[in-house]
Chains A and B, each alone.
Chain A
């Protein structure tokens, strides 16, 4: 591996990311999968970095998941997106930041389509006006939330309580990064670092002390792939994709996987349980799995937020081995206590995968 070669490519794919005043749009599914990730992104931006991040309760789905599942045509998705842009215009913002990778890809694809076919944009303006009497401006900048965390990765590193370093040996932790397909595979210049060697997540991991692994199936799909999972008959294909990735990364002994997509952390996390039930195989140390985190969760951990406040108990794969390695204290008794110490109930344990 020639690191300088990657740096050269990264220098070709640096995108302009304004440092403040963002209109934030949340994901449809991330709040169910990783309930504290978005909350902590907002907290980190506002409370740790002092940034202006605006949200509106009138925001809806972007239509991306339906569009990619072939249940709505693109013009419908465009009109939904046009309404989000109208909300942003009404709030007085010009920079859009999305929580979801599919949304990010959807927004970027639509803006690029309008740039190529302006008559389509005109038609969508008419649709939106007929539907809800709103008008919109195309955002000046569209970023994914991981772009912002990447931009402020060094500020986060300065404020970090913990680093991605083995507290006993002082060695950097081995981090696998997995980028959502809709981040830069469609439009390489819209992602930090391009499509082949994106550095949006690896940049964070390195800034916080980790060592990023480049393994042969790094670019391979996480296993979600929309129709691979949404069509029930294809789910074997979904799990086999995930299995392929884990077999490929196993020799590098990863300590954690960091992701920036709603589907990827979910499938990389949950399918480890399924694989262990199917063939008894686990990929972490001593029967554990490999912890899978969103970038907000990882940022929260290094900044010293309580692991259970970050929602890490919702993961299928136990995070305790990673917390122990990083030297992050946690109270096992509080793992399944929610807000106001409400008992959220302990789940049943798998046969093979050690979860605590």
Chain B
């Protein structure tokens, strides 16, 4: 296909958002190039097991998204070295050594998960049975993680780990953590029907369609306990079980529970914007580019 620079759109990031954007641009008759730094498409969803609120398979969504990329120039294991502005186009140098001229750039670089070990009081990386939401999804997919034992009877989920947290340097809400915790709690209950499951939350931000129903279902059909209050500290007892102290702000009392597994809902941190904007919010033209390469 002969490429027309003014109709070419560079999409940075091959996660679900980038895949969807590229597919729609193609449908509109444009010529998208999808650039992904890893060797596969799907971003975080590719590592997930099932999705809220309908428990659809994450892998199926990625497959469906990839199938819709017919006609899109997909470049995996490729990074952006630098971007500069020409008269009416953008000039982009890729790590593969090729050069792309395009009329527009879509930034879909997504997010990183908050490093849960920074919340030292929760003991991630210290105590044997403390994992993150991402670790749990890997376990759902592979069944392999020595921290999740076969005889799990009590599980806790800590919401807002490193999100809405001034002290942790991230005041933003992750938006999807609450509903993800509910999804994971239900999934755990399906794996371990006898288990008691506790969710420790500040407040539940369930804004999406059918999310509230999902929350009610978690309580009514799965018996999941929701405790409004922050976890203050986590320890380990002599049997290696996780001891969690929290405050139940509805009953106004401290609570202490001993768990077989504690899941930290690591919050979302927006990835830094990869483009070298100037003070007016524009990408500078080539001749004014003086800070060297911008690896993205």
Interface residues of A (CB under 8 A from B): 1-2, 5-6, 8-9, 194-197, 214-219, 251-252
Give 19 new A-B contacts, CB below 8 A, not counting A8-B117, A219-B233.
Answer: A1-B128, A1-B236, A1-B240, A2-B126, A5-B125, A5-B126, A8-B125, A9-B120, A9-B126, A196-B120, A196-B233, A197-B126, A214-B236, A216-B235, A216-B236, A217-B235, A219-B235, A251-B237, A251-B238
Q: Which chain A residues lie closer than 8 Å to B237 at the CB level?
A: 215-216, 251
In contact, B120 and A197 (Cβ under 8 angstroms): yes
- Contact, CB under 8 Å: A195 / B120: yes
CA distance A279 to B126 in the complex (A): 36
Give which listed residue, B117, B120, B235, contacts A214 with CB less than 8 A: B235
> Which 7 pairs show the lowest CB-CB distances between chains A and B?
A5-B125, A216-B235, A196-B120, A216-B243, A5-B126, A251-B238, A216-B237
Residues of the A chain whose Cβ atoms lie less than 8 Å from the Cβ of B211:
none
B127 interface residue per 8 A CB criterion: yes
Chain B positions within 8 Å of A215 at CB level: 235, 237-238
Q: Is B121 an interface residue (CB 8 A)?
A: yes
- Pick the residue among B117, B127, B233, B243 that contacts A1 (CB under 8 A): B127
For the complex, what is the distance from the CA of A197 to the CA of B120, rounded to whole Å? 8
Whether the Cβ atoms of A252 and B238 lie closer than 8 Å is yes
A-contacting residues of B (Cβ < 8 Å)? 117, 120-121, 125-128, 233, 235-238, 240, 243
10 contacts between A and B (CB under 8 A): A1-B127, A1-B236, A1-B240, A5-B125, A6-B126, A196-B121, A215-B235, A215-B237, A215-B238, A216-B237
A188 to chain B, nearest CB (A): 8
* A218 close to B128 (CB less than 8 A): no
Nearest residue, chain A, Cβ from B242: A216
CA distance A251 to B241 in the complex (A): 14
CB closest chain-B residue, reference A219: B233
Chain B residue contacts of A217, Cβ below 8 A: 235
Compute how far the CA of A8 lies from the CA of B117 in the bound complex, rounded to whole angstroms.
Answer: 10
Name, among B121, B125, B126, the residue most crowded by chain A CB atoms within 10 Å (CB to CB): B126
Contact A5 B235, beta carbon cutoff 8 Å: no
Q: How far is the CB of B61 from chain A (nearest CB, A)?
A: 34
Which chain A residues lie closer than 8 Å to B128 at the CB level? 1-2
Give B59 Cβ to nearest chain A Cβ, in Å: 31
Contacts of A251 in B (CB 8 A): 237-238
Min distance, Cβ B115 to any Cβ of chain A, angstroms: 12
Structural contact, B235 and A218, CB atoms closer than 8 A: yes
Do residues B238 and A5 form an inter-chain contact, with CB atoms below 8 A? no
Give the distance in Å from the alpha carbon of A9 to the alpha carbon of B120 in the complex.
Answer: 8
Asked whether, in the complex, the Cβ of A2 is within 8 Å of the Cβ of B120, the reply is no
Contact A194 B120 (CB under 8 A): yes
Query: In the bound complex, what is the Cα–Cα distance between A194 and B117 (angstroms)?
Result: 14
Chain B residues with CB below 8 A from A195, complex form: 120
Residue of B nearest to A13 (CB): B120
- Who on chain A is nearest to B235 by CB? A216
B117 contacts which chain A residues (CB < 8 A)?
5, 8-9
Residues on A with C-beta less than 8 A from B121 are 196
Minimum C-beta distance from B11 to chain A (A): 37
Cβ contacts under 8 Å, A252 to chain B: 238
Distance in angstroms from A12 CB to nearest chain B CB is 9
Residue of B nearest to A218 (CB): B235
For B238, give the chain A residue with the smallest CB separation: A251
Q: A196: nearest residue on chain B (CB-CB)? A: B120
A1 CA / B239 CA spacing, docked (Å)? 11
Residues of A contacting B236 in the complex (Cβ-Cβ under 8 angstroms): 1, 214, 216
Residues in chain A near residue B125, CB distance under 8 A: 2, 5, 8
- Which of B120, B121, B240 counts the most chain A CB atoms within 10 A? B120
Q: Find chain A residues with CB under 8 A from B243 CB.
A: 216
Nearest to A252 among chain B residues (CB) is B238
A218 to B234, CA, bound (A): 10
List, in ascending order, chain A residues with CB within 8 A of B240's CB.
1
- Which residues of A sit under 8 angstroms from B233, Cβ to Cβ? 196, 219
Query: In the complex, what distance in Å separates the CA atom of A219 from the CA atom of B243?
Result: 12
